[in-house]
Amino acid sequence: MTRDPLFDFTGKVALITGGSRGLGYEMANAFATRGADLIIASRKLDNCERVAGEVRSLGRRALAVSAHVGKWPECDALIEAAYAEFGRVDILINNAGMSPAYRSHEMPENLFDSVVNLNFKGPFRLATQIGHRMSCGEGGCIINVSSTGALMALPQAVTYGAAKAALNAMTVSLSREYAPKVRVNTISAGPFLTDIAKSWDPEALKRMALPLGRAGNPPEIVTAALMLASPASSFTTGALLRVDGGQR
């Protein structure tokens, strides 16, 4: 494809968690198509390898890493693997997450911990360790994928919404802590028709009353990620970009 100079990522290295499917897969493909080398991380290595193979078929380098990013030792191993392979990370996209529906008064502690760990604790570890390295080097950008669940009532998914709200707060604080070399921004995603949507109640989706009248298609996340990662957004940091069909 002919690359727009504003969105040419040739020579850049992007690390995407949850990069083997859903929104992460769409972003991985978009960055690779525009010249970036990729580190694809998720818990299932075979899925990561499949996506890495697709990236290599585009003429880019790719590294597949199995990592449960809710666990700090696995986050650290992911970081070390990325730097051993590429020597740097220019773009970090904290995309991995989970949002199980559960009655709040019945939620067991281990599930509470799992939700918080994957949606906040792990992204904090990756963002701080990689952000520090970026700030000591040539800089870079971090994109945290959050949810409208952090901005509105979310019955039976309170833990998820709270963890994503923490992620939003982290974005603002880290954008100051690692400035001026590192930009940190949030994409606040609404309902998207990824694999997880297959389990959604169609009537519940209708009740969301989205102004655009539908849920998002996964490729519709791409332009937000490209924009926030692009040098053309060099004056954008600490921002929250809603990609949610107008959901309120």
- Please say whether the beta carbons of 247 and 146 come within 8 A: no
Summarised one tens digit per residue, pLDDT across range 70-123 is 999 999 999 999 999 999 999 999 999 988 889 999 999 999 999 999 999 999
Structural domain for 198, as ranges: 5-243
Three-class secondary structure of residue 76 per DSSP? helix
**CATH no. for residue 133?**
3.40.50.720
Give the pLDDT of the chain (248 residues) as one tens digit per residue: 567 888 999 999 999 999 999 999 999 999 999 999 999 999 999 999 999 999 999 999 999 999 999 999 999 999 999 999 999 999 999 999 988 889 999 999 999 999 999 999 999 999 999 999 999 999 999 999 999 989 988 888 999 999 999 999 999 999 999 999 999 999 999 888 886 656 656 666 666 678 888 888 899 999 999 999 999 999 999 999 999 988 87
Task: Pull the structure tokens for residue 135.
Answer: 């700030």
Catalytically annotated residues: 160
In a domain, 248, yes or no: no
In a domain, 44, yes or no: yes
In a domain, 115, yes or no: yes
Query: Taking the model in full, what pTM does it have?
Result: 0.94
The whole-angstrom separation of Cα 191 and Cα 180 is 33
